Structure 1
Amino acid sequence: MLDVLNTILPVFVVVGFGYLATSRGLFSESAVDGLMTFAQSFAIPALLFRAMSTLDLGSILTLPLFLTYYGGATASFLAALLGARFLLGRPWTDSIAIGFAGLFANGLLLGVPVTERAFGPDATAGNFGIIAVNSAYCYTIGITMMETVLARQSGGTMRNLPGRVLKAMFRNNMIIGILAGIAVNLTGLPIPEFFGDSLDLIARAALPAALFGLGGVLCNYRPEGDLRAIALIVVCSLLLHPATSWGIGLAVGLPTPAFRSAIVMAAMAPGVNTYIFANLYGVGKRVVASSILIGTALSLFTSWAWLALLH
């Protein structure tokens, strides 16, 4: 058990360093914004491009993997959505934002480095397979439901719904990096060695920079809002999602490497994208922000437990 903790602890220590440096004024908010802009707009897209351009897509983009991970994610979304609406009495718009927080796990910034630390650099193929469709899947569900509710409340139409969904996805540099990498992979387009080496230099900075920056971002969140709603999101994200994925993975016979990737990704706290979604519509922002902070802190211990089971 101690070996498992020592494996994943460095990931969370880097996040903690970012949090501490920002909270003590050693790293300004503008520096955090700059670091996250570099990580999310340049370094992570480079990492995703290189991963997607070199992976054996046929072996990782499999139905059992997607059923395992996204079956659990969908169950977590529905539980958080319906629980917020019918148990906590939240408005539908708030409930959708809360459900989205149960749907969108922080698989890229936390799931990938935890998997790499726990099972080795070659064990992350399944992680990137999940990441390849994650934003498309989650934003399609979240935006479609939110726009449907808003259209009904205002008596408007949903003619612009497909455009809003596509705009939300394709203005994201990470989606562009994924699609470009898949295009290179499928076409066999050669990448000049000097250009590939340059991308690798940028990509190697992606996860350390993003983890440190994530700590700075979390420093700006305060545990505010309905504690019951926060608890609902945390339970769905850290327990229901991985537990459901575990059951589905066993049922469909998912191979062990992909099974590990799916469970680790599912066991992560809500990602920063959940706050971006809530902020986009101006609903549930305090609850979602607090869930990211509290969930990330608790995921150190819950991911330890899930990894111990996987080992």
Structure 2
Amino acid sequence: MSILLSVILPVFLVIGIGFLAAKRNAISPAGIDGIMRFSQGFAIPVLLFQAIANLDLREFDLRLVGTFYTGSFTCFLIGMLAAVYLFKREWEDAVAIGFIALFSNSLLLGLPITERAFGADATQANFAIIAVHSPFCYAVGITAMEIAKAHGHPPHTIPAKVLRAIFSNSLILGITAGLIVNLTGLPIPTVVDEGLSMLVRAALPSALFGLGGVIARYRIEGDLPTILFTLSLSLLLHPTLAWGLGTAMRLPDEAFRSVVVTAAMAPGANAYLFAAMYGRATRVAASCVLLGTALSILTAAAWLALLS
């Protein structure tokens, strides 16, 4: 209970305030959209830029990334195949459903929960995961979707579409810029660094509040078996795989905790954005984001209890 109260509830309290503010029209949909554009288009890319620029790449552990993304990709495949063969969905729908199980909310939930549970110094592994997260997930999802919907279009056009979609993402641009600074040792003037730090301090609170406002627009509608199956992959199978693989790989304790906590997070809002981008399985995606975020209050507490 102490884990639930001290670590998880403050994060979800900010989401809940945003949810209630949007539900009661205390802030307009345009206001929520503005907050999300600020957080995801400016503040969070700057947060990622600073984190990656200062990340000690000598301690970048391929076992960490391999553990997390092996589990993530496995859930994607299971979700996609189950959607086709178990729930009788079309392949394009199936890719969107697989993407829901693939894209855990590593940034808005995994990062603050890890920080509150284990301290700010314990988030190095989180940023290593986050650095790869959007590029990997979008590369997998867009490639699979373009193949599914190719229908005779020349396959050589797919790589260009994937790269164009990936590098139009502001989060990936922030990660790329941070990596360039890290590798080149380019100094950042103090006044610039302090200004960026002001943006960083606003990043997670504004994003969590905005996430609550976005979730307020969703309703849990239909397709309940598909929704519950997909959430079981995201909230239960992925962290279980991360635990088993992390144990087999003998990850250090700090990395092991970050991998399991991040794997246990609900699908991120990007799961809905991906579905909406292609107009496929949007109802399932929206319901999974809404219900998964609510359920992760309990499931995250359970995983943290096991880790502690």
Give the Cα separation in 1 of the matches to 2:144 and 2:122.
35
The 8 Å contact of residues 3 and 301 in structure 2, kept in 1 or not, is answered as no
| In the alignment, structure 1 residue 209 sits paired with structure 2 residue 237 | no
The 8 Å contact of residues 265 and 296 in structure 2, kept in 1 or not, is answered as yes
Matching residue of 2:250? 253
Give the Å deviation of 1:4: 4.3
Q: How does 1:94-109 map to 2 (within 5 A)?
A: 94-109=93-108
Task: Point out the more displaced range, 104-113 or 133-142.
Answer: 133-142
Give the Å deviation of 1:5: 3.6
Identical aligned residues as a percent:
54
The 8 Å contact of residues 134 and 171 in structure 2, kept in 1 or not, is answered as no
Give the Cα separation in 2 of the matches to 1:210 and 1:176.
18
Matching residue of 2:149? 150
Give the Cα separation in 2 of the matches to 1:208 and 1:57.
28
Matching residue of 1:110? 109
Give the Cα separation in 2 of the matches to 1:43 and 1:207.
8
Over aligned residue pairs, what C-alpha RMSD do you find?
0.9
Give the Å deviation of 1:186: 1.0
- Equivalent AA in structure 2 for residue 42 of structure 1: F
Matching residue of 2:13? 13
Give the Å deviation of 1:281: 1.1
Q: Which residue among 171, 185, 190 is the counterpart of 2:168?
A: 171
Where in structure 1 are there 5+ consecutive unaligned residues? none
Give the Å deviation of 1:67: 1.5
Matching residue of 1:222? 219
Give the Å deviation of 1:165: 0.7
| In the alignment, structure 1 residue 273 sits paired with structure 2 residue 270 | yes
Where in structure 2 are there 5+ consecutive unaligned residues? none
The TM-score, its normalising length taken from structure 1, stands at 0.97
Deviations 1:218-258 (A, max 9, x none): 00111113101111111000000100011000000011101
Task: Point out the more displaced range, 176-185 or 207-216.
Answer: 176-185
Give the Å deviation of 1:3: 3.4
Deviations 1:238-285 (A, max 9, x none): 000100011000000011101111111100011111111111111100
Give the Å deviation of 1:145: 1.1
Structure 1 moving runs of 4+ over 6 Å: none
- Number of aligned positions between the proteins: 308
Matching residue of 1:78? 77
Give the Å deviation of 1:124: 0.7
Give the Å deviation of 1:159: 2.0
Matching residue of 1:285? 282
Matching residue of 1:160? 157
The 8 Å contact of residues 4 and 308 in structure 1, kept in 2 or not, is answered as no
Give the Cα separation in 1 of the matches to 2:54 and 2:203.
18
